[in-house]
Chain A
Amino acid sequence: MRKKSMKRVVSVMAMLGVGLPILWAHAGAQGAVPDPAASWNHLWHEVLVDLFVIGGVFLAAGLFWVYKYRATRPGQIGTAPKLTALAAIGFAVIPAFLFMADDFYLAAKGWTVWNEYRNVPRNALEVKVTGMMWNWTFEYDNGVVTTFDPDSKTGDGLVVPVGRAVVLRMTSTDVVHSFFLPEYRVKEDLMPGRVTYLWFQPKAAGETLATCAEFCGNRHSFMWTKVKAVPAAEFDTWMAGMKRQGA
């Protein structure tokens, strides 16, 4: 009898601990135009708050106790009360549920943004990226190929139109590299034998950079490229020019 009701209590707590945070995290998660970088920033700030609260509580308790419970005379011993069995279980189960609830809450939030990161919008511009020691090449669906030379800072690098999602299909000819776009809060590795992808949403015109984030030898630090977002009309003119040159 006791055992049974115990079980019921535990299962209700488990349901609350798992279910509520997930529901809560999903409330109001629907947006219009996906903007992964903005969602990233939002989640990051939320997590920071979470961490400051947890860290603050622990740090305050710890430092306060360190200060408060200094020994005042030699030979003094601690007077910690002996925990009853119930208190011992309580001090384990309650924090465990709190941590778990927070974990599931964060996991659910993280998953929501993750889905945004992995679901490529349908009209996305597709660019093939090849990494090699130590530069990047970009091939557009019409066969135009661009590169960038970090030493002389010449070449167009990756040029993309503002307002249209860009999906990169990526592979490597030699070792593992990683295409890291700090401004767009995303990276994904490239390796021989597999094609990986990432996508991002250029919101405003301007120049940012992508740089290699997986160790690849001597010039790893220099393996970067310009990423230029330009208004759609300008992009079309540029593309037409490139095609004329290439063909």
Chain B
Amino acid sequence: MSTASSGFKLSEWLFTTDHKRIGVLYLIGSVAAFAVAGIMALLIRLEQMSPGPTIVSDAYVGGDQYNVWLYFHGAAMILGFLIPGLTGFAANYLLPLMIGAKDVAFPRINALSVWLFWAGIVVALLTFVVPDKPDVMWTGYPPYSIKTGGNLALYVFTVHLIGFSSILASVNFLVTITYMRAPGIGWFQLNMFTWSCFTAFIIQLVFVPVLAAAVTLLLLDRYLGTHFYDPANGGDVLLYQNLFWFYSHPAVYVIFLPAMGIFYEIYATMAKNPIFNYKAAVYGMCGIVLISGEVWVHHLYYSGMPDWLRIGQMVTTLLISVPVGLMTISLFGTLYRGAITFNTPMYYGTAALYLLIIGGLTGIPLAITVLSVHLGETSFTHAHFHFIMGIFATFSVFAAVDFWFPKIAGRMLNEKQARLGFWFNFIGVNVTFWPLFIIGVQGMPRRYWDYSQFPPHFADYHKVATIGAFIVAIGMVLTISNWIISAIKGQRATDNPWGSRSLEWTHTATPPGPGNFPKDVVVEAGWTPYDYK
């Protein structure tokens, strides 16, 4: 059984409504965004290597140049890479397979979603073409975003396109998971990855419209002269920050949940164990959905919000540790009395233990209002969110591609190169971000390209961080080039090389053909995707 392989036809890919191909299109787009945003990260790091102009032209235009890199890096990493990489690529490719469905509920809407996403990427890339390059950071706070000469419309349209794409995808997948499970698959027999996406899509559906509204008002203020955010005319600056974070905090769960979901799958398969305390983890995910909308003020701890709100949301924010803790215990517990085989995905899985701990626990001081009043907006915060998003979640995408590669490409990766890539990545990120934790506590602000006012030893830490970034760059080149080369000439893969019990491995050909399953899937009573006995 294979995809009527009459060779490669571009139009077949561009106009496809097959969820697997759409998934791959998402992957290509998000890796492209990652690559460009990664180059921006290297430029940023080069600039921060020493105080004063390092690679920018001079002290006067330096800020303008640097701010464009930083804008693109942040916006593209989140909107162009992580969200589409997880809820676009991984969800599209895997969800229908995991629930035994032939496709998603609305395949053509699915195609529209991926086109909107690609359009968003193209609009984002116009950053490098227009003369008035956007410099509003991925947060786009007014009044700066309204007053700057930089192009605000590109930012807003990127958010619109990718936002609409996500809303459509959310509806599509929520319906698919609810109504298209193969006969016999009940809610508590779903894969953890399916659950993680289900919860992530609920969050997305509820909160993305708020972001879309917030940035639309920016557009109106800037180009049509309205005053939503203009206090001189009855508007309010803080309104935007509230709306923005009302979406953008939940957005981190849209990233975090599927990332966890991926690691659950890898753990169960590679340890040949069922998920430890499955239901607790599922309730944990649902708990995150419930709490996610009540914690946004932790991004506004020093923004002049009423004191009681800063305390109330400190409590809700700290309580996130409960569902996240339960999910973490389930993840770690899955290893208990397992029979773990190590391949590159499991290397990433092992690293994830550590990344989850560092990334998660450094969030706790930031959740405590009064500690955040010093640590917020410093490179401590910066290192925290890189550990959890820029590394933990990013590694989950890399691990997912490595793990499902045999299924997707029908070929095996070059394992040696994949491992080498892993080690460069893992060592590199630690070299990059630990120094930033340290100078962050000492007061190094984020979004600074010059820091001459600070003690000279800051420069040493920044130098180390820059070296780390280049180590990561080597790892990324090794990893991504491996995908491309192995997809073309890797060794042929068998149907289920890791011996998984999950439907996407047990019931499909490699790679799965149109319609996914040779025969309609029916599971027996008591089936679970983690039944290794």
Contacts and interface: CB of A to CB of B under 8 A. Distances in A.
B188 interface: no
Contacts of B226: none
A80 B450 contact: no
Given A69-B336, A88-B277, A187-B302, A215 B453 contact: no
Q: What band does the interface of chain A fall in when counting residues whose beta carbon is under 8 Å from B?
A: 35 or more
Interface string B251-279: 00000000000000000000111101101
A91 B326 CA distance: 8
B373 to A, nearest CB: 6
B147 to A, nearest CB: 6
A214 B311 CA distance: 21
B445 A59 contact: no
A213 B378 contact: yes
B364 A196 contact: no
A44 B376 CA distance: 14
A29 interface: no
Given A40-B374, A99-B325, A111-B311, A217 B144 contact: yes
Given A91-B280, A188-B302, A221-B449, A59 B329 contact: no
B64 interface: yes
Interface in A79-94: 79-81, 83, 88, 91-92
B63 A220 contact: yes
Contacts of A104: 315, 318
B273 A78 contact: yes
A136 interface: no
A158 to B, nearest CB: 14
A69 B271 contact: yes
A66 B350 contact: yes
A13 interface: no
B443 A63 contact: no
Interface string B344-383: 0000001001100110011011001111011011100000
Contacts of A99: 321-322, 325
Contact of B237 (A80, A91, A192): A192
B342 interface: yes
A95 B144 contact: no
A222 interface: yes
Nearest to A188: B302
A212 B302 CA distance: 13
Contact of A217 (B148, B328, B332): B148
A12 B210 CA distance: 40
A175 B311 CA distance: 26
Given A78-B338, A103-B315, A218-B64, A47 B143 contact: no
Nearest to B279: A88
Contact of A113 (B64, B319, B337, B370): B370
Nearest to A97: B322
B280 A88 contact: yes
Contacts of A150: 453
Given A107-B318, A111-B314, A221-B449, A92 B302 contact: no
A43 B370 contact: yes
Nearest to B60: A218
B326 A96 contact: yes
Contact of B336 (A65, A213, A220): A65
Contacts of A138: none
B280 A92 contact: yes
B377 A187 contact: yes
A216 B145 CA distance: 9
A3 interface: no
Interface string B329-341: 1001111111111
B13 interface: no
A88 to B, nearest CB: 5
Contacts of B447: 215, 220-221
Nearest to B70: A215
Nearest to B362: A51
Given A215-B141, A219-B63, A224-B453, A182 B337 contact: no
Interface string B468-510: 0000000000000000000000000000000100000000000
A42 B317 CA distance: 22
Given A58-B328, A80-B273, A189-B303, A217 B67 contact: yes
A77 B273 CA distance: 7
Contacts of A61: 332
Nearest to A51: B361
B377 A188 contact: no
B137 interface: yes
Contacts of A50: 364
Contact of B304 (A51, A58, A191): A191
A177 to B, nearest CB: 10
Contacts of B373: 117, 185-188
17 contacts: A51-B364, A55-B358, A59-B357, A76-B339, A92-B277, A99-B322, A100-B319, A103-B322, A180-B377, A193-B232, A193-B237, A194-B238, A213-B445, A217-B148, A218-B60, A221-B448, A221-B449
Given A88-B279, A194-B304, 14 more contacts: A47-B365, A58-B332, A58-B357, A62-B357, A77-B272, A78-B271, A78-B339, A88-B280, A95-B325, A100-B319, A103-B321, A176-B141, A212-B445, A221-B451
For the complex of A and B, 8 pairs with smallest distance between CB atoms: A193-B231, A182-B443, A78-B273, A218-B63, A92-B280, A76-B339, A110-B368, A103-B318
Interface of B: 59-60, 63-64, 67, 135, 137, 139, 141-144, 147-148, 231-232, 235-238, 271-274, 276-277, 279-280, 283, 302-304, 307, 310-311, 314-315, 318-319, 321-322, 325-326, 328-329, 332-342, 350, 353-354, 357-358, 361-362, 364-365, 368-371, 373-374, 376-378, 441-443, 445-451, 453-454, 499, 532-533
